[in-house]
């Protein structure tokens, strides 16, 4: 017996023992990337119905509660929040959502290409149903001197 010599099985290499612990670093990296992607994409998902709103210099309204939004797109179709709705279903649906509250805030968004009469027809239906707070939505006017 010789002292200090390790028997390697005759091949000259030490045995490899596999690591039995899970390396979580790649999983954390992937989760952080997904978190950043969802944080950037989340505001883009709340756009709703695409409408080219007219511009005005009126100040923006800052409200704490979310109003009901009726949209009239360029084809004249009605949308309540993000779902399309027929003209005859608009008032009953509004009354059901607001529980017949005449002070519920209702915003009407009308595409700039749509006939003004169509937007006023929608506002008339909502006002005739007894809702007091019906407002038109516009975009802030862009300053023409800035690029």
Please give the Cα distance from 91 to 33 (Å, whole number). 45
Domains of the chain: 55-140 (3.30.420.270)
- The answer to whether 87 and 125 are in contact (CB under 8 A) is yes
Question: What is the chain's pLDDT, residue by residue, as a tens digit (147 residues)?
Answer: 555 555 555 555 667 777 778 888 888 999 999 999 888 887 666 555 666 656 666 565 555 567 788 888 888 888 888 888 888 888 888 888 888 777 788 888 888 888 878 888 888 888 888 888 787 777 766 655 555
């Amino acid at each position: 017996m010789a002292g200090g010599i390790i028997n390697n099985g005759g091949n000259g290499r030490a045995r490899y023992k596999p690591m039995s612990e899970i390396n979580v670093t790649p999983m954390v990296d992937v989760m952080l990337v997904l978190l950043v992607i969802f944080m950037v994409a989340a505001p883009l998902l709340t756009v709703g119905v695409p409408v080219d709103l007219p511009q005005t210099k009126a100040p923006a309204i800052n409200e704490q509660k979310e109003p009901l939004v009726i949209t009239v797109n360029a084809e004249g179709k009605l949308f309540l929040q993000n779902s399309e709705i027929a003209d005859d279903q608009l008032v009953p649906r509004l009354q059901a959502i607001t529980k017949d509250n005449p002070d519920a805030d209702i915003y009407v968004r009308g595409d700039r290409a749509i006939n003004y009469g169509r937007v006023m027809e929608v506002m008339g239906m909502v006002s005739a149903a007894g809702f007091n707070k019906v407002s038109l939505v516009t975009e802030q006017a862009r300053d023409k001197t800035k690029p």
